[in-house]
Amino acid sequence: MDNCRVEHDSMGEVRVPNERLWGAQTQRSFENFKIGIEKMPTEIIRAFAVLKKACAEANRELLPEKMTEEKLSAISAACDEILSGKLPDEFPLAVWQTGSGTQSNMNLNEVIANRGNQIAGKKLLHPNDDVNMSQSSNDTFPAAIHIAAVCETKDKLLPALERLILEFERLEKENDGILKCGRTHLQDAVPIRFSQEISGWKALLERSREQIIITFAALSNLSLGGTAVGTGLNAPKGFDRLVADKITAAVGSPFKTDSNKFHSLSSQDEAVFAHGALKALAADMMKIANDIRWLASGPRTGLGEITIPANEPGSSIMPGKVNPTQCEAVTMVAVQVMGNDAAIGFAASQGNFQLNVFLPVIAYNYLQSVRLLADAAESFRIHCVSGIKPNIGKMKENVNKSLMLAAALNPSIGYENAAKAVKLAFEKDITLKEATLELGFLTGEEFDKVFRPEEMT
């Protein structure tokens, strides 16, 4: 291998490209795990940078004889560069590596140490002794999952979800008073207002938002300070609480030390619980997208009660065809998130003895779900929801044709007689009024008096 330097670890010497900041353990992992194309998520890398800086700050206070001000300054500067996106090519490792994420933890340790040494202008930092001080991969990786999950959800998903909610709120106000046919079991039902239907979509997203926010309390628990098996070996007293405070200050979201590190190293139940709320959002977005594409179906032989934006040609053979592509994208995202939820659940069940060793796949799937839901909500809002228009004529036509308006007759002629009128109207393809009069249940004047669809909502 040309243009390489020799690095070493406990297993011996390794040749590493000169231009790379990583060291021996990263190189070994890079060579040994050429599996798939999925790389460790950048969200996890950023979370690790926050974590490593906070650990160095805590060590400076608790172990000042080991973590000098000079070392802290170099570590902090290197972490800040990672957080600013200056070193994107230094984290090449696959998701499909050791299940503890040890090699990604060491990737961070090595890059921070080597970059810190460049900044200091001398050999100042050691990846294990300094950057990994008071830590183990076994307590840093679970903590990084929680930090990344909270920060990415708050910074990306919740704002996109809020904008989508506000778009539905605008639609609800604009479409107040428009009467349309309700549907249950994919069959005609009693009337509702279009604004009421939209309010249901909006409420789905609002409830999902509430459920997601609730999960932050669970994710706020950090495993840091447990080190290898939860006993806290080689971590100074008070390190766990102090580093949680440092992380809280750094990211602006509250974190605390887990009261039982044997739990936090071996269990991923909090990730399962929190991702469940993401799955609930995916289910709601699936429902909304399906409703919208059904209502827009046609345009002439479907329901055709609304129109949605025509963003691109829908067929390579049928000229003029336009498809509900944004709805389809949302539903595919929902399917992926539901699949991710299953993967996370299976992975979390594998906490054998003192450690779960499915951490990278949990991190990858969780953060993909956050990213996809945020992007899908934004795309759906911009390219579909914002352009929804009611086809008032079609809505009125469907309301007038619906036989389920017979529910308005129940108080006057009773359920069974109303059912007879519906059956006759369907068999003879006549109106409900004509059927009711033919059966002698009401006069025309009486029918008009009680049959007022606009009052059924």
Domains of the chain by range and CATH? 4-133 (1.10.275.10), 139-393 (1.20.200.10), 403-455 (1.10.40.30)
Q: Give the whole-angstrom CA distance, residue 87 versus residue 46.
A: 11
Q: In the structure, what pLDDT confidence band is assigned to residue 322 with cuts at 50, 70 and 90?
A: confident
Q: Mean per-residue pLDDT for 424-438? A: 94
pLDDT over 90 at 7, yes or no? yes
Given this model, what pLDDT does residue 47 score? 98
> 87-92, long-range: CB within 8 Å, 24+ apart, which pairs?
87/21, 87/111, 87/115, 88/42, 90/20, 90/21, 90/22, 91/39, 91/40, 91/42, 91/45, 92/22, 92/26, 92/30, 92/39
Sequence-distant (6+) residues with CB within 8 A of 274 are: 149, 212, 215, 216, 218, 219, 366
Question: pLDDT digits over 178-206, tens only?
Answer: 999 999 999 999 999 999 999 999 999 99
pLDDT over 80 at 1, yes or no? no
User: How much of the chain exceeds pLDDT 70, in percent?
Assistant: 100
Question: pLDDT digits over 106-122, tens only?
Answer: 999 999 999 999 999 99
Q: Mean per-residue pLDDT for 359-369? A: 98
Angle, helices 194-219/137-152, rounded to nearest 10 degrees: 150
Given this model, what pLDDT does residue 221 score? 98
pLDDT over 80 at 321, yes or no? yes
Given this model, what pLDDT does residue 453 score? 86
Given this model, what pLDDT does residue 301 score? 93
Residue 191 bridge partners (DSSP): 181
Given this model, what pLDDT does residue 131 score? 98
Active-site residue, 223 included: no
pLDDT over 60 at 245, yes or no? yes
Given this model, what pLDDT does residue 2 score? 78
pTM value is 0.95
> Which among 10, 185, 259, 316 is annotated as catalytic?
185
Given this model, what pLDDT does residue 404 score? 86
pLDDT over 90 at 319, yes or no? no
Least confident of 28-32, 237-241, 310-314, 416-420: 310-314
Given this model, what pLDDT does residue 400 score? 87
Q: Mean per-residue pLDDT for 252-273? A: 98
Q: In the structure, what pLDDT confidence band is assigned to residue 146 with cuts at 50, 70 and 90?
A: very high
Q: Please provide the average confidence, as pLDDT, over all residues in the chain.
A: 96
pLDDT over 70 at 253, yes or no? yes
Given this model, what pLDDT does residue 381 score? 98
Q: Mean per-residue pLDDT for 403-430? A: 93
Given this model, what pLDDT does residue 314 score? 80
Q: Mean per-residue pLDDT for 371-383? A: 98
Given this model, what pLDDT does residue 216 score? 98
Q: In the structure, what pLDDT confidence band is assigned to residue 60 with cuts at 50, 70 and 90?
A: very high
> Which among 315, 316, 349, 412 is annotated as catalytic?
315
First to last CA, the chain: 76
Rounded to whole angstroms, what are the CA distances from 438 to 419, 420, 424, 426? 14, 11, 9, 13
Active-site residue, 316 included: no
Given this model, what pLDDT does residue 315 score? 79
Handedness of CA 353, 357, 361, 365 (dihedral sign): positive
Q: Give the whole-angstrom CA distance, residue 188 versus residue 183.
A: 5
Q: Mean per-residue pLDDT for 244-250? A: 98
